[in-house]
Structure 1
Amino acid sequence: MRDMYSNIKTVPALVPAVQAAAANGSTVDLLGASAVAFVVSTGAIVSSGDFGVKLQDSDDGTTWADVVAAQVKTDAPATLLDGKTYRLGYHGHKRYARVALTKAGGTSIAAGAVAILSPCNKPVA
C-alpha cells in the first residue's frame, strides 16, 4: 500500500514569512527519528534578493555549527530562486538540526521550511 502518511512526521522548520535578513529556523529534535529531510519553499524575491540555505546541527540545541558538506544532500543552488522547492537531507549524528537562511544581498525573499522525519516507531499517530 502507498501509505506514506503513517510513516512520516512533519514539524515546522522555518515559519513561512517574508525574510529581509538571515534567519535561523526552529530547532528540530531528531531523537527517535531514523532520518530527516528539510523541504524549503520560496516565494517572491524583491530587489534581487540573494538568499541561500544551509543546515546546522547541535548536540545540545544551543550551540550550533554548519553541517559539513559530506553530511548533507541537497538540490538547493547557492542562490535560491522564487517559486521553487528544495530538499536538504541531513546525514549527521547530532540530536538537533535546523535550517539557516543566509543573505548575500538584495531586499527580501518569501520562504518557509518543514522537516520531514522518519520516526523509528511507526505508524505515526
Structure 2
Amino acid sequence: MRDHASNIALASAIAPAVQTATVTGAAIDVQEANGVTVIVHTGAIAGSGDFTAKLQESATTADEDFTDVEHLIGSFPDSLEASATIKVGYVGYKRYVRAVLTKNSGTSIAASALVELSALRARPAV
C-alpha cells in the first residue's frame, strides 16, 4: 500500500447541510494541482426536491467571472438522487473552480460538495 493522503488536498466547496435554495459554493484555488475532482454527496430529499449540480471556473474570484465548465470527465446527472455520490473530473486551465447546486423545484435536499486536488506541485499535502 502507498500513502495517498499525503498526495492530495481536500477543500470543502459546499458544506454538508439541508439545502432549500440554490447554493453557490466557495471558490477553490486549484493552481497548485494538476488534477481536480469534484465530489457531490447527497442524503435525504424532502418534498420532491429537484436539484441539479454543475461546476464553474474562473481566472478570478469575482462572481461575474465564473462560467460553466463545458468539458468534464464524467457528468452530473440531470437531477440529483437521494443518498448518492457523484464524481466528475475538471478539464480546464482556470485558477478557480466552484460547485453550484441549483434548486429547480420541491423543498430540499441534504447535500455537500468536496474538491479533491491531486498531482500536487508541492508534497506532502498539508
**Which category of TM-score, normalised to the shorter sequence, fits these structures?**
over 0.9
> 1:117 corresponds to which residue?
117
- What amino acid maps onto 1:2 in structure 2? R
> 1:32 corresponds to which residue?
32
How far 1:76 moved relative to its partner? 2.9
How far 1:74 moved relative to its partner? 2.7
What do the CA deviations read for 1:21-52 (whole angstroms, capped 9, x no partner)? 11101110011111110111101101111101
TM-score, normalised on structure 1?
A: 0.93
What do the CA deviations read for 1:87-110 (whole angstroms, capped 9, x no partner)? 021111100000010121111001
SS in 1 for 2:42: strand
Q: How many residues align?
A: 123
Deviant stretches of 4+, over 4 Å: none
> 2:83 corresponds to which residue?
83
State the identity as a percent.
44
Point out where structure 2 has 5 or more consecutive residues left out of the alignment.
Answer: none
TM-score, normalised on structure 2?
A: 0.92
How large is the RMSD of aligned CA atoms in angstroms?
1.1
> 2:55 corresponds to which residue?
55
Point out where structure 1 has 5 or more consecutive residues left out of the alignment.
Answer: none
SS in 2 for 1:43: strand
